[in-house]
Each structure stands twice: as structure tokens, then as C-alpha cells.
Amino acid sequence: MNFDLPPETETMCAAVTAFARRDLGGPKSYDPELFDHDDFRRRWRLAGRQGLVGATAPSAHGGCGLDALTATALMEALGAGCADTGFAFSIAAHLFASVMPIVEFGTGEQQQQWLSGLSSGELIAAHAITEPNAGSDILNLTTRAECSGDHWVLNGVKAFTTNAPVADLFVIQAATEPGGGYFGLTAFLVPAGTPGLLVGAPHDKVGLRGSPTADVHLTDCRIPLDWVLGGVGAGASVFAGSMKWERTCLFGVYLGAMRRVIDSTIEFVGERTQFGTPIGEFQSVGHRIVDMVATLQSARLQLMLAAWELSRGADGTVSSGLAKVAVSEAAVKIGLDAVQLRGALGVTAGDAETLLRDALPARIFSGTNEIQKNNIARALRVGRRARPRR
């Protein structure tokens, strides 16, 4: 077992952390009604020049062609340097939930049309699947796509779509055969500005506030037949493929954010004095710091194992699910610990309370942690009787 990243990967990650710290800035004052689209685009283009928004796309289409393990390390470096975790989250969601489905399921024409712009930072993508009454229950989507002559007609509402207010391209999941189960869904590529597609007002969220999120309304949205991604009935496969990447690589952002906050917490307890001594010398404080580091290391090992398996083409249902649960729960715990160690300063604006707020959604998106455990138990065949031996 070799836990060392290749020297070239270490160098790349150090450069990304330095770039993010220098050019991407900290959390923005995020009033959804005053969202600064121009500044978001400016930072997005900078990230594109660094190869971040197309990291795992093929080099033939302007990407870097990184495997899952290297991409996870890259996201960790981004999270360590970018204090605006919401912005880093938007990059990861764009890359793993939207770009990778086009890489894995798109036709040659679709890849030629979209991947270059999506990889360079010129374009932003969003994957719209969640609905007001269908989050984890994706096989019961109410958004419909009906074939009408030489067009598809889409109707429905998508909820909580990451990047929707800034997206140039949407990957939209709809039911083409209601009640058809796994093969009843189809994914479509729909450019922003298509008649019948309307993006709602940005949501005001408790965390990840630097990542713009909104609902998407589809009203008799007519699109050409060849805007299908992966073929009719392949929507669930497209979604499962995107989740395979997202549940693994995206959570590298949280590893970096946790490390950044642990480092600042160690610095804080070394400078903050009570009773004439730095509070870091108090045994209870020292023990809490050790627990924070142990929690991060444990979660990191699980995530890197999942990324290693994904890089080698393994199924990864168990490893990615375990890693998603471990990292999201670790981020909440470390956020709470960082707030507690700062006392009253922990509940004022700062990196500790920001991490805690940003960590809360991590237990929900990409499939709630409860759903992850259901999937893992199913993959382990828990509760299923073994077939009797003959």
C-alpha cells in the first residue's frame, strides 16, 4: 500500500492551493437578490485556465484527462485554498455531475459541441434531477418528456439545482415512460435560453452560499430529438454514472476545507490565552484537536480508497457510499469542534462557523446519508437469505 501521491500530482495540488488562496478569495456576502454574476464568471474563467472545471474531461476536448484519484486530490487542494467552499462545490458539481455524463454517455457530436467550452471555463453546466416531491425517489419523477413529431416536449419543475442561475447548459432528467422503472427515465441536454425553460430566483441557503442554486421550470419546452444524452431510457444510468463520480471526487473539497479549519484552529488555541496560558495546553483542548485530526484522517482514507477503486473501474457502490457518509459526518463534527474551541468567537463570522454551515448540506446532497446506508446494505445483501448449498 503506497499512500504517496506521485510528485507531479503533489506539485499540481500545491499550485492549485496557492492559486485558490490568491485568486478565488473567501466567502462572498451572498444575498441571492444581489448575486454578482460577473464576479462569479470572472472566478470561473480563472479556474478554467487552471484546468479545474475540466479536470477529468479528455485532453482531446480541452480537459486534463485526470483519473478519479488524481481528481480527488485536486479537489482537496482546491478546498484547502478556496475559503469559499460554495464556489469550489459549484466547480465540482459542474465537473462530476454534468461534464462526466457527457464524457461517458454523449455522442461524438455532443462531445464536440459542448466539452471544449465546459472544460475551458467558457461555459457552466447544471444537472437537474431533484423535484419538489422526488429527491431520493428518482424513479418517480413527475417531469415528463413526450415525443411530438421531430421534437421532444418537456414539462415539469426541478428543485434545488446547483448552478442553475449561472448555467449555460442543463442536463435534465425526465420520465419518457412513466412507471417504466429504471428504463423509464431519459436525460436531455438543454441549453439555457431554450424557449420554455425558466430558471427561478436563487435560493437563500444555510450553507454553500457561494454556490448559486435555483428551481428550473419547464413549460412546453421543445427540443430536437438528438438532444437526448445516452439514448432513450438511459436516464437512470446517466444519473448513476454522475453519482459515481460525485460521491467520490466532489467530497475531496470537504477534505481540504476541514484541513484548512483544523490548521487555523491549532493556530488559534496556541494564541488564545486563559488563566495565563495558551488554551492549547489544556488537556481537554489538546484531546479535542487530536480527535479532529483523527476524524479527518479516517474520512480521507475512506475517500481515497473509493477514488482508487473508481480509477480502476470497480463498481464502488460500497466504498463510495461509505466515503460519502464518512466525509460529510466528519465535516459536521469538525465544524462543531472548531466552533466550540473558539467559544463566542466561533459563532461570529469566521472559518469555523462557515465550515459548519457548509457541512450541513453534505449529509443531504448526492443522496442523503440514510439513502447511502440503504444502498450499501443492499449491495452487501444484508437481510437476504443465502441460497442453500446443494
Active site residues: 246
Closest CA to 191 of 212, 221, 214, 219: 221
Contacts of 15 (CB under 8 A, 6+ apart): 50
Beta strands 213-224; 197-199: pairing state: antiparallel
DSSP codes joined into one string, 29-86: ---GGG--HHHHHHHHHHHHHTT-TTTTS-GGGTS----HHHHHHHHHHHHHH-S-HH
Give the three cell numbers for residue 372: 447511502
> Amino acid identity, residue 186?
T
C-alpha cell at 227: 438532444
**Is 169 in contact with 98 (CB distance < 8 Å)?**
yes
Whole-angstrom CA distances from 178 to 10, 140, 152, 159, 238 are: 48, 8, 15, 19, 17
Q: In whole angstroms, what is the distance from residue 184 CA to residue 386 CA? A: 31
Pair type for strands 273-274 and 185-191: unpaired
Tell me whether strands 125-128 and 169-175 are parallel, antiparallel or unpaired. parallel
Residue pair 365/247 in contact (Cβ under 8 Å)? The answer is no
Residue 313 corresponds to which cell in the numbers above? 473501474
Side-chain half-sphere CA neighbours of 99 within 13 A: 29
For 137, 141, 146, 228, 367, the CA distances from 238, given in Å and listed in that order, are: 16, 15, 19, 11, 15
**Cell of residue 62, nine digits:** 480541452
